[in-house]
Amino acid sequence: MHISDGIISLPVSVAANAVSLGLIWLSGRKTGADEIPGMGMTGAALFVVSLIHFPVAGYSIHLGLFGLAGITLGRRAFPVIFTVILFQTLIFQHGGLLAIGINAINMGAGAYAAWMIWQIKHLNEALRAIAAGFAGVFVPASFMAVEFRISGYGSGIFLLLSIYLIAAVIEAGISFTAVKFFRRVKPEILPG
């Protein structure tokens, strides 16, 4: 899901980086000191979990946990995701340096979508967790597929989405399990 440099045009990449910085400011302003340890822990989890790779249809994908980040951090997820992507790019070479902005927007959109789903209070909590986990992967994958389509790059929007559909189902299960675990062990992690 980490786009490499040279795929998205330079002006779009630069604009995406600028938008990302704006979103970091919007999402991160007035962050309380009590929120920062949670953000750090979530960032660490997101960073490490990207090392868990599994083969799907001749391709290799890894976990992201953007849905779970959206559930637990809400709008604070974006600065965390940006930082994690920055470190993943620099340390593991996942994605390009210029593409950090577009990658952060794609994956941040997943976290935002998960957060919005989590806010639908009249739905069953388990259902919200599953939908948020699913959206955390499928929304970024859809964004990416559309970007590739516009750029005239890649081997097809449907192939890409079908690969990430499997990842989204796996993350939905992980999200459900994690929410259930948090509710039982430390419910204050889950807002609302």
Partner 1 sequence: MLKINFLILCGLICFLSSHAHRFNVDIKLQPPFVIIQAFFFAGQPVSNALVTVYSADDGSNVYQSGRTDKAGYFVFIPDKQGDWYLLVDDEKGHRRRTNILIDDVFFVQGDEEVDFINDTDDEEDVDPVYIHKPVEKEIPIYYRMIFGLALIFGLTGILYGIKVRQSLKK
The mark string for 95-124 relative to partner 1 (x by CB under 8 A, - otherwise) is: xxx---------------------------
Structure tokens at 90: 């620099």
67 or 95, CB closer to partner 1? Answer: 95
Q: At what angle do helices 100-118 and 66-73 cross, to 10 degrees?
A: 60
In three-state secondary structure terms, 55 is strand
Binder among 10, 21, 26, 51 for partner 1 (CB under 8 A): 51
Q: At what angle do helices 125-151 and 66-73 cross, to 10 degrees?
A: 120
- 158 near partner 1, rule: CB under 8 A: no
- 152 near partner 1, rule: CB under 8 A: no
- 39 near partner 1, rule: CB under 8 A: yes
23: closest CA among 85, 71, 67, 72?
A: 85
Binder among 9, 18, 26, 92 for partner 1 (CB under 8 A): 92
178: closest CA among 49, 81, 36, 50?
A: 49
> How many residues are there in the chain?
192
38 or 183, CB closer to partner 1? Answer: 38
- 189 near partner 1, rule: CB under 8 A: no
Which helix H or strand E contains 191, and what residues bound it? none
Binder among 9, 93, 162, 177 for partner 1 (CB under 8 A): 93
Structure tokens at 82: 């940006």
Q: The tokens 């974006």 sit on which residue? A: 78
Binding site for partner 1 (CB under 8 A): 1-7, 31-33, 36-37, 39-41, 43-44, 47-48, 51, 53-55, 58-60, 62, 83-84, 87-97, 144, 148, 153-155, 159-160, 163
